[in-house]
């Protein structure tokens, strides 16, 4: 076992990088095949965001004031960026639970016995989760169109801007998946990983501009919402989709939401990938 590990560590840097990419793709393929063999995981992952779309649109749509109006159609277009962002971030809990389950069953120890890059197990897992999130986001976008969401309803939009908006959503989802990976490595059971993944997600997603106008919050809560990385991505998507809810806040993330979203997501990936890979190495040492 140590011989294979030493071989991987003494490989030239170029070969090590190629091996890391190859190993990550193999692990990602394994997880994607596993998803196809357990279709209920994908199905239930689709049902929850669809329920959020329907409930928020038809239950709260007529009572929410956006831009001085309670028009349900205005709220639909305001809401969808928040629902999209919530969907990609809630995938974090599933990612953490999956990694915790692999640890609990000893699968990680089997990977460790192979001559493979140490970070490939986590990278492959998070990439597979990103593919599943992209599929969920595609289905959710179709449902949003069916209930009345339209791009360009309150500003300029185009195919390139819409694609950029969804790319920012996937980047945020990928960044948060690394937080889930760290949680999954830090707990003992998949159930604990699921609970731990949701406990912090609810305040992050609800203390934001996703479902209500943050300008109507109390000052201290509004400042938290405006500097929330989640809010930056939601605001960036509204700008790119041309939807209502353009912020008049002086907070930098609300004035430059696209840049803020990129910076936040990249920083989260750098920090939590480093912590997760370090935790993985110490957990399997």
Number of domains in the chain: 1
Residue identified by tokens 């209930």 is 147
| pLDDT given for residue 81 in this prediction | 93
Query: pLDDT tens across 2-48, in order?
Result: 444 434 444 445 577 787 888 888 888 888 887 777 777 777 777 87
Contact 82, 209 (CB under 8 A): yes
Q: What residue numbers bound the domain in which 169 lies?
A: 2-283
Cα-Cα end-to-end distance for the chain: 12
pLDDT the model gives residue 119 = 77
CB-neighbour burial class of residue 73 (10 A; exposed 0-12, middle 13-18, buried 19+)? middle
Do the Cβ atoms of 221 and 198 come closer than 8 Å? Answer: no
Give the 3-state secondary structure of residue 68. coil
Which of 53-62, 107-116, 217-226, 261-270 has the weakest average pLDDT? 107-116
Cα separation, 138 vs 130, in Å, equals 12
pLDDT tens, 159-195? Answer: 899 999 999 999 999 999 999 989 988 887 888 888 8
Residue 96 predicted with pLDDT over 70: yes
pLDDT band at 262 (very low <50, low <70, confident <90, very high): very high
Q: What is the pLDDT of residue 6?
A: 39
């Amino acid at each position: 076992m140590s011989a294979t590990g030493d071989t991987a560590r003494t490989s030239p840097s170029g070969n090590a990088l190629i091996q890391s990419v190859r190993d990550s793709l193999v692990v990602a393929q394994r997880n994607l095949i596993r998803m196809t063999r357990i279709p209920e995981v994908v199905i239930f992952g689709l049902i929850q965001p669809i329920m959020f779309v329907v409930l928020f649109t038809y239950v709260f749509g007529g009572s929410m004031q956006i831009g001085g109006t309670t028009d349900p159609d205005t709220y639909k277009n305001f809401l969808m960026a928040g629902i999209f962002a919530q969907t990609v971030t809630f995938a974090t809990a599933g990612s953490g639970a999956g990694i915790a389950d692999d640890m609990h069953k000893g699968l990680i120890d089997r990977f460790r016995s192979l001559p493979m890059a140490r970070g490939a197990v986590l990278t492959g897992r998070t990439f597979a989760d990103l593919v599943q999130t992209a599929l969920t986001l595609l289905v959710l976008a179709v449902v949003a169109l069916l209930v009345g969401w339209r791009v360009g309803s309150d500003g300029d939009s185009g195919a390139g801007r819409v694609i950029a908006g969804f790319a920012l959503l996937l980047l945020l989802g990928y960044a948060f998946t690394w937080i889930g990976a760290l949680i999954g490595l830090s707990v003992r059971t998949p159930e604990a990983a699921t609970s731990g993944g949701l406990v912090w997600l609810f305040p992050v997603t609800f203390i934001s501009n996703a479902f209500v106008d943050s300008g109507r919050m109390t000052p201290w809560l509004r400042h938290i919402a405006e500097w929330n990385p989640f809010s930056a991505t939601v605001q960036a998507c509204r700008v790119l989709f041309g939807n209502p809810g353009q912020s008049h806040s002086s907070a930098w993330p609300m004035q430059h939401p696209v840049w803020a979203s990129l910076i936040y997501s990249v920083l989260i990936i750098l920090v939590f990938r480093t912590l997760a890979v370090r935790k993985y190495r110490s957990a399997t040492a």
